[in-house]
């Protein structure tokens, strides 16, 4: 066991067995002294994942199969809860099935002095070595006057996300938020503050959770010596559409929930700024604009009310234009 104690990895997978094979191998290649256990949460995959996992024999591997697909948020909540209640971790590290630690990543984590920190974000790159845009640790500009000024003066996302230069400067520093790719959190902090909200399903659940920790007074650190790889193709500049279309709902609803947390009293002006930008995405969805508007309108209504109880089946029905079952309209 390393200096930072017992580390347990939680991997959420759904229908990506080829990626899971690579990730699990990368995890089990980490020395036992640095990584004590690996918990794979299978979101009811139908691609042979359960059968393949059942055939693995490494003593550090534990599997948790959910009865239905609960999305990334539901998978992380179930996995973190199982880890805390059954695996006695000091720290938990979470990741998707297409993300994995580079060789030596957990040794680098164990070498850090994390006194005073309750969370930690890894440096995440694509397989080609470029920074993974969606996984750059972030600052909340509304909590830092100088960062807010840089953002308003045209700095864009680069003003409040760590950039290439930050990935080259050694040393531990604080950030406000992180993604669930290579995010480490103390188990005692999870016990104190709770778990990710499974009702978010996907998109923004990591930012909502980590910024919630920071807002509650917990410190999240970053050090580029802990490196992860994310073999992701979620975003493509060649196809700006949100695919599949049902994700329009979760993407915009959860962003509204996140922005309310992040902006505080500035939520109204930020809302007026971003709603037209989001609606302008309609131009990319020729032939399905009616469905986009239906999902977008529902997302805005629910996001403003912080309503998260709609089932995933309902969202799929609305995306496909199927009629609601009696008594489920809302």
Could you report the per-residue pLDDT of 42-78, keeping only the tens digit for each? 999 999 999 999 999 999 999 999 999 999 999 999 9
Task: Please name every residue paired with 175 in a beta bridge, in sequence order, or none if there are none.
Answer: 220
Residue 287 structural domain: 247-320
Q: How many domains does the chain have?
A: 2
The residue from 170, 198, 230 where one domain ends is: 230
Instruction: Assess whether 46 and 149 both reside in one domain.
Output: yes
- What whole-number distance in Å separates Cα of residue 271 and Cα of residue 259? 8
- How far apart (Å, rounded) are the C-alpha atoms in residues 199 and 41? 17
Q: Rounded to whole angstroms, how far apart are CA atoms 138 and 120? A: 12
Residue 202 and residue 256 in one domain? no
186-206 mean pLDDT:
97
Q: Are residues 131 and 270 in the same domain?
A: no
What gap in Å lies between CA 286 and CA 296, rounded to an integer?
15
Bridge partners (DSSP) listed for residue 227? 123
Distances 44 to 15, 199, 215 between C-alpha atoms, Å: 8, 17, 34
Determine the average pLDDT of the residues in 281-291.
Answer: 90
User: Could you tell me the two tokens for 67?
Assistant: 């009865």
Among 311, 319, 327, CA closest to 68:
311
119-125 and 220-230: which strand pairing? parallel
CA distance 184 to 164: 21
pLDDT of residue 330: 47
Does 262 sit behind a cis peptide bond, omega within 30 degrees of 0 on the bond before it? no
**Is residue 91 assigned to a domain?**
yes
DSSP 283-303: GG-TT-HHHHHHHHHHHHHHH
What pLDDT band is residue 238 in, cutting at 50, 70 and 90?
low
Close Cβ partners of 296 (under 8 Å, ≥ 6 residues apart): 248, 249, 252, 278, 279, 282
Residue 236 resides in a domain: no
Of the chain, the end-to-end C-alpha distance in Å amounts to 51
How much is the pTM? 0.93
Ramachandran sector of residue 96 (left: φ over 0; alpha: ψ -120 to 50; beta: rest): beta
Q: Are residues 188 and 251 in the same domain?
A: no
pLDDT band at 284 (very low <50, low <70, confident <90, very high): confident
Closest CA to 52 of 22, 93, 10, 81: 22
Residues 29, 151, single domain; the answer is: yes
pLDDT exceeds cutoff 90 at 327: no
Given a cut of 60, whether residue 302 has pLDDT beyond it is yes
Indicate if 104 and 66 belong to the same structural domain: yes
| pLDDT, mean of residues 314-323 | 86
Q: What is the mean pLDDT of the chain?
A: 93
CA distances from 225 to 53, 104, 124, 168 (A): 31, 9, 11, 9
Q: Using a pLDDT cut of 70, give the percent of the chain over it.
A: 95
Confidence tier at 237 by pLDDT (50, 70, 90): low
Q: CB of 119 within 8 A of CB of 220?
A: yes
97 and 172 together in one domain: yes
252/230 Cα distance (integer angstroms)? 24
**CATH number, domain with residue 183:** 3.90.550.60
Mean pLDDT within 222-233: 94
For residue 130 the two structure tokens come to 């470029």
- Whether 330 maps to a domain, the answer reads no
Question: How far is it, in rounded angstroms, from Cα 20 to Cα 227?
Answer: 18
For residue 194, being part of any structural domain is answered with yes
Q: 279 in helix, strand or coil?
A: helix
User: Who's near 319: CB < 8 A, 6+ residues apart?
Assistant: 244, 245, 246, 248, 249, 291, 295
Rounded CA gap, 130 and 146, in Å?
A: 27
Of 154-158, 286-290, 295-299, the poorest mean pLDDT is in 154-158
Tens digit of each residue's pLDDT (9 = 90 or more) over 133-177: 999 999 999 998 888 888 877 777 778 899 999 999 999 999 999
């Amino acid at each position: 066991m390393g200096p930072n104690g017992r580390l347990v990895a939680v991997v959420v997978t759904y229908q990506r067995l080829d990626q899971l094979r690579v990730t699990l191998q990368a995890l089990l290649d980490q020395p036992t002294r640095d990584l004590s256990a690996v918990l794979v949460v299978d979101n009811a995959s139908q691609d042979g994942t359960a059968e393949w996992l059942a055939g693995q024999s490494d003593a550090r591997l534990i599997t948790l199969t959910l009865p239905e697909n609960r999305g990334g948020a539901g998978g992380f909540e179930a996995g973190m809860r199982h880890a805390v209640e059954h695996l006695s971790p000091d720290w938990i590290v979470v990741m998707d099935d297409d993300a994995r630690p580079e060789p030596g990543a957990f040794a680098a984590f164990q070498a850090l002095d994390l006194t005073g920190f309750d969370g930690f974000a890894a440096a995440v790159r694509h397989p080609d070595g470029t920074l993974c845009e969606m996984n750059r640790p972030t600052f909340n500009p509304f909590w830092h006057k100088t960062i807010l000024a840089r953002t308003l003066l045209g700095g864009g996302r680069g003003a409040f996300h760590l950039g290439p230069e930050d990935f080259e400067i050694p040393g531990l520093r604080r950030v406000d938020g992180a993604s669930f790719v290579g995010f480490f959190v103390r188990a005692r902090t999870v016990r104190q503050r709770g778990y990710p909200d499974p009702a978010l399903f996907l998109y923004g659940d990591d930012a909502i959770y980590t910024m919630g920790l920071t807002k509650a007074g917990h410190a999240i650190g970053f050090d580029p010596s802990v490196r992860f790889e994310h073999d992701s193709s979620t975003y493509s500049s060649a196809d700006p559409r949100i695919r599949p279309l049902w994700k329009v709902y979760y993407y915009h609803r959860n962003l509204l929930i996140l922005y309310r947390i992040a902006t505080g009293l500035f939520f109204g002006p930020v809302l007026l700024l971003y709603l037209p930008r989001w609606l302008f995405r309609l131009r990319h969805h020729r032939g399905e604009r009616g469905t986009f508007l239906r999902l977008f309108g529902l997302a805005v209504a629910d996001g403003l009310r912080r309503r998260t109880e709609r089932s995933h089946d309902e969202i799929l029905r609305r995306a496909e234009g199927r009629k609601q079952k009696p008594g489920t309209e809302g």
